Structure 1
Amino acid sequence: MIFKGKVFCCTAIPTSYRSEIDKYVKELGGHHFSNLTSDVQYLIVGNRNTDKFNFCLNKRDDITYLKFNAIHEFYEGYKAGKSVDLNEYVLGVFDLLTIAISHIKSDDLFIDNLDLQKVITSNGGQLSKTLTTNSACLITNIKTGKRYAKALEWEIPVVHPIYISHSLTRGLALPFEDYLLDKYPDYAAPIEAPITTKTVSTAKSAPTIHNPTNKIKKTKIDVWNSIMNTKSHEIKLPNSVPKPTSNGIFKGLKFKLLFFNADQKSILNEIITKNEGTITENESESDFKLIPFGNEGISGARTEWLIERSIFYGRLTVDIWSEPTPPINLPKNKTITLSGFTGVEDLHIKKLLAHKGFEIVPKFNAKTSILLININIFQDQLPKSLFEFDEPIVKCPFNSINIVSTKNKIQAAKKWGIPIVSARYAFEVKYDDADNIDDTKWCLYYKPSDKIPSDSPDSGSLKLPSPKKIKRKFGKLVTNNEKVKGIESEGTIDDLDFDLGIGYGKKQKRG
């Protein structure tokens, strides 16, 4: 059968049309799933603004994206005896996007020698001569003009033109939030493309139109929902991580699965056996007892995170991440933003924090309760005491984009008086000490003077200093001599050697 071994999924496709797709795919020997699973190879797209599409865009580089009518036209052509190829129906780089363009100048990121209008339309995009509320984004690197003002008013993403070049290289329109003009107010150095393949030149030549069928090989780590993009753009692994083994990851190991439903067991069985492990019903002869993450746990059991981390690192990985973690009910709502994490650690620490009752805020702002960062980025600039814990927690992989983003968030946190903690806090925090974040085992920055007095009805919340003032005293991040000082802080971070001092006011709590 022509679709044998092929697995399809839809997003933003009408129910009536899905029935037709399901029928045609099955008739041609393939499979059509309603849910986005790790088996899915093709995503049929009716709209880009969906959870499925955005998840695949950010996490799955193995997916082939097909146009809305791909299956119908392929089936009709096949039945008519024509020579048909699914690659003929691949979603164009800018398909389903209406893009407006405003003033553009040459800068250190982009030389204005591309016919952006032609590049966008020849790759499936619709060019809007006027900015409307239906525009997906506005392309410009000049913060002036009516279009720019209206884009801000209508909350339409204003995106630097380098976005076009990088999207062409990726073979798919990238997330707007990674190229927002306000993220790069000063063009001091080229920004790296968030891809691993050779990037389009941003200075001297127009890009060749990308062939969307040339996909980047990625690693599978999320065993339930999808194949995640885990090793993109120069991920720097901790020194303790060995090279992947050449044999099957689970060769010779026996796993006993407990409390999983039938579908989960099927997925785990497939992954484990593909990596030369076996599933056993005899608990006494098993090497590992696996239970679902979030389960209260039984003696000696591990969660499915053992499988995910092992797949990610290409070797058997048994560490604290896969130990069962009981939930806690926080005394009140806690919001937290993460920065500097990537790959399997990014996936797992978000699940861990949500499991413990935190509300994860993707966009860091002055009302966020806590900033949690990957301290491995700044290992040489922080005291060793922060790393005296299980290495897999504090020595997490990161990439060059993580560095820039984390530096900016640290500066903002110090400006707003928001506590900064390491990943250790996520593992050790309990109900009784959810507010005691100023513990030097995990806390990097804290301002006790910002806390409302204990007799206040709002005790425990942070009084945030106004970000409008240019100059203010901040606590200092813990330095290598672990002294806590007050420093004058102003301006923005412009290199990796900015002051990483973190502290807790006049006194430092000892853990």
Structure 2
Amino acid sequence: MGAGDEGTTAADHPLKGLIFCCTSISADIRNDITKKATDLGAIWKQDLTSDATHLIVGDVNTPKYRYVAKQRPDVKPMRISFIEKVHDAWVSAKNVSVHELEVEHTFPPFLGLRICLTNINDEKERQRIQKITEENGGIYNGDLTKQVTHLVASNPEGKKYQFAKQWGISIVSIEWFHQSVERGMSLDEAYFSFDLPASERGQGAWIRSATGKRKLSEREGSGSSDGRVKSDPAKRKIKRAASDRLSSGSQTLWGDIMGTKSVKIDTIDEWGADAPQRTSSKAGSSATGPIDAPYVNVRTSMSMSDLQPEVPKKMFHDKGFHVYGFDSDKESQIRGIIRGFDGNTYPALQDLFEAPASRYVIIVPDSYIQADCPRISDASKAVQIVTAWWLERCLHEDKFIEPDAYLLGRPMKRHNISGFEKMTVSVTKFDGIDYLHYTKAIGKLGAEFCERVYQGRSLLIVNSADKSVHKDKMKAAEAWGIPIVSQKWLLECISEGELIPFKRYLLNTKPITEKKDGAVEVKKEGSTALEGVTVKLDPAVKVS
């Protein structure tokens, strides 16, 4: 068998003998490629086990990716497109070499990263680094911006260095760049921090194993007893599958993956208590030294009680975020919060659009109106723009709130709506985050929020969802003839960007009618202290 035939497998199951795992892949994409891979003969596992051969990567900033980069030179990091291309060829009967597709669709070490340099003055060296960056999937920035993910420095000084520390950008020594290229994966930045002595930078960042990566041909049998066939001297043609083959053969494994039946534990998950913890790589943080745990083969059998329980997914898992319009400190804080709940943040809109995610969210300040928000050029992505109020609401309820379900968390059409500037508004039955957001919204629309209800107030807004019996403010407003409306009126004004007549939102028990002179009259119904009194309201209030 010639050297050029490496990786060609049996035509009926071209991925037979391969074991896949994934990281940072959205659920819908993961389900699709899982079925395709198993149809092609591969085994798909949720956990990173000791016999895994390929890791399908969506983002380099995940524990699985970091662990493979450091401890598993035998596991190949791949793009999603690898499985898709093999599957396309399989069903269309094209000539293809699986090994060639492996090489073509390897996940490059700098994909999704933006790299800037400082204190490297040799122009030819800078040009060489730029070329290598772009050849390995990264974006090279000559100037330092907030969108840069890594500042590669020869020494810890200078303006770029200081600003990178201020903006929370990862700062690494030049060894990180060269070793990541050599490894073929982005290495943990903590091993290349300037907090470490120069002689220790890069030590233990990854295992240079002499055994290297396993080849496809090494995983194939020499005979036909197990259904595997060695490579022919030429590229093997992947045959068109019969329609029933697309659904047969993988159903048992698919049921295991989806949890519809019990799963036999045949290999130990390396992603348990033995997995090393990643050291924080934030610029300027103090380093206690990276954990340099040697890779050892774990036990081949264990009881169910030995297995580590699966870590629950947090509320921003599988979601992609771009933080826009904040100062550097606030932006860094928000990005930290999102990542703390398993979300992924991307420094540029294009990075967000290219990321695999179940939701694409842009967070802007609550001072922004819709006209201030970034324009979305990629219509194929269902991008939703929210304000920091939406994030506060999610944190308050400890769950992902659908942006469309929380109007106050979306940028308003406009602030200071005509007519609101003459109004004095009070609220009742709001508390916690609701009270905070509704009272702030009143001010953004241009009205004056007043804590207490006094005679002459323009309006009382009631949280109609609160069914409690406490109605002191409502009784006072009723007695003084102040219009009482539900919060739906305010939301309608925000949605339309104008002062909406509140007639259909009124909650007063005594009907309020408008007179020609702009006053309102409280009709006589029962005995009250102000029965029959005509109350003059602010001219800005619309009744009909």
Q: If the TM-score is normalised by the length of the shorter chain, which range does it land in?
A: 0.3 to 0.5
Q: Which has the larger radius of gyration?
A: 2
TM-score w.r.t. the length of structure 2 is: 0.36
Higher RCO, 1 vs 2 (CA within 8 Å, ≥6 residues apart): 2
